[in-house]
Structure 1
């Protein structure tokens, strides 16, 4: 009986040690990253303007971070769900098939609140040669 208790204690101690060693690795994982791919960059007939078409993918649980665009932004949600937080406005959830607009200089953040990757098609009417976005505090 004493031997069985000793073995049981050793097993519990080993499981506890292995579990405790694994926990920091879980918390140390980086959050999923948002990816962006420019599909088209085209001069417009409007002077000093260009159209930029970008595919944005947000894995579940990811977010873009608060940012602005010095451009008109039109977005079509191809797949998934996104929560759009816009400064001075109510948060709005968009799903596949929805579209939305963000005006130039408006602080906003997109969060994937679903369980699948959210895929967006973004079209910006941008000032030629300017950065497409900037971080906001």
Structure 2
């Protein structure tokens, strides 16, 4: 299945009440059992995504704003528009918009077909720097 760019489809997921996620496109990947999902995430100033995981890699790019990205086992990173980030499969992570204004992230997920794109998890106690 492929969702065309600009459809504005809002996929239901565990983070839907905290931030706005717009699925831009979805297609099977060349690796069997995997699909590519591209999402624009908009996080209002001061809001966190909440600690969560994905069933595959996340390749992300900050399109606008300043976002603090916390990934379990890594030191926190403050990213600005034009910077990218990577999150390994199944790794807990959290994003918080530092403002001013709404942060926008473009993420491409290389995930297992049929699995939920987002699963909320318990917060990391050390802020991810462990």
TM-score class normalised by the smaller sequence: 0.7 to 0.9
**Structure 1 residue 111: deviation in Å?**
0.2
TM-align CA RMSD: 1.2
Secondary structure in structure 2 of the residue aligned to 1:60: coil
Secondary structure in structure 2 of the residue aligned to 1:129: coil
4+ residue runs over 3 A deviation: none
Q: TM-score, normalised by structure 2?
A: 0.78
Equivalence for 1:48? 33
**Structure 1 residue 54: deviation in Å?**
0.2
1:41 and 1:92 mapped to 2: Cα distance? 28
| Bigger radius of gyration | 1
1:102 and 1:45 mapped to 2: Cα distance? 20
Equivalence for 1:64? 49
2:64 and 2:49 mapped to 1: Cα distance? 16
Which 5+ residue runs of structure 1 have no aligned equivalent? 1-31
Which 5+ residue runs of structure 2 have no aligned equivalent? 1-16, 123-130
Where in structure 2 are the equivalents of 1:8-87 lying within 5 Å?
33-87=18-72
Secondary structure in structure 1 of the residue aligned to 2:116: coil
Equivalence for 1:128? 113
